[in-house]
Chains A and B, each alone.
Chain A
Amino acid sequence: MHEMMVAENLLAVISDEAAKRNVKPIGAKISCGKLYAINDEALCFAFEAIAKGTDCEGLKLEIEHKPIQGRCIKCDETFSVDLSSPKCSKCGSDDFELLPDAPLLLEEIEF
Chain B
Amino acid sequence: MQKVDVGKKILSANEEYAFKNARFLTEHEILCLNMISSPGSGKTTILTRTINELKDKIKIGVIEGDIQTDLDAKRIRATKAPVIQINTDGACHLSAAQVDKALRKLPMDDLDLIFIENVGNLVCPSAFELGEAGKMVVLSVAEGDDKPVKYPSIFAKSKVLLINKIDLLAAGAQGDFDIERVKADARKLNKGIEIFPISAKTGEGMTNWYKWLIKSARKNSV
Contact A98 B3 (CB under 8 A): no
Contact B153 A35 (CB under 8 A): yes
CB 8 Å contact bits of A95-106 with B (1 = contact, 0 = none): 111100001111
The chain A residue sitting closest to B13, CB to CB, is A9
CB 8 Å contact bits of B140-160 with A (1 = contact, 0 = none): 000000000100110011000
- Selected interface stretch from B38-46, B74-82, B188-196: B188-196
Which A1-48 residues sit within 8 Å CB-CB of chain B? 1-2, 4-6, 9-10, 12-13, 17, 21, 23, 26, 30, 34-38
Interface of B is mostly: mixed
Contact A105 B10 (CB under 8 A): yes
Report the interface size for chain B: residues with CB under 8 A from the other chain.
Answer: 33
Contact B11 A108 (CB under 8 A): no
Contact A105 B149 (CB under 8 A): no
Q: Does chain B have a CB within 8 A of A110?
A: yes
Residues of A near B37 (CB, < 8 A) are none
Contact of B189 among A23, A38, A98, A109 (CB under 8 A): A98
In the complex, A71→B12 CA distance in Å?
Answer: 27
Residues of B near A21 (CB, < 8 A) are 4
The chain A residue sitting closest to B152, CB to CB, is A83
In the complex, A29→B179 CA distance in Å?
Answer: 42
Interface of A is mostly: mixed
Q: Does chain B have a CB within 8 A of A54?
A: no
Residues of A near B157 (CB, < 8 A) are 35
19 A-B pairs whose Cβ atoms sit less than 8 Å apart in the complex: A2-B93, A2-B123, A5-B91, A6-B11, A6-B127, A13-B12, A17-B8, A21-B4, A35-B156, A37-B123, A38-B127, A104-B9, A104-B10, A105-B7, A105-B10, A106-B8, A106-B10, A108-B4, A109-B4
Contact residues of B with A, CB < 8 Å? 1-14, 91-93, 95, 123-128, 149, 152-153, 156-157, 188-191
Known: A2-B127, A6-B10, A94-B188. 14 other contacts (CB 8 A): A2-B128, A5-B93, A13-B10, A23-B2, A34-B153, A35-B127, A73-B191, A86-B189, A98-B189, A105-B9, A107-B7, A108-B6, A109-B3, A110-B2
Contact residues of A with B, CB < 8 Å? 1-2, 4-6, 9-10, 12-13, 17, 21, 23, 26, 30, 34-38, 68, 73, 83-84, 86, 94-98, 103-111
Q: Which 10 A-B pairs have the closest CB atoms?
A: A2-B124, A35-B153, A104-B10, A83-B152, A106-B6, A106-B8, A36-B127, A110-B3, A86-B188, A9-B10
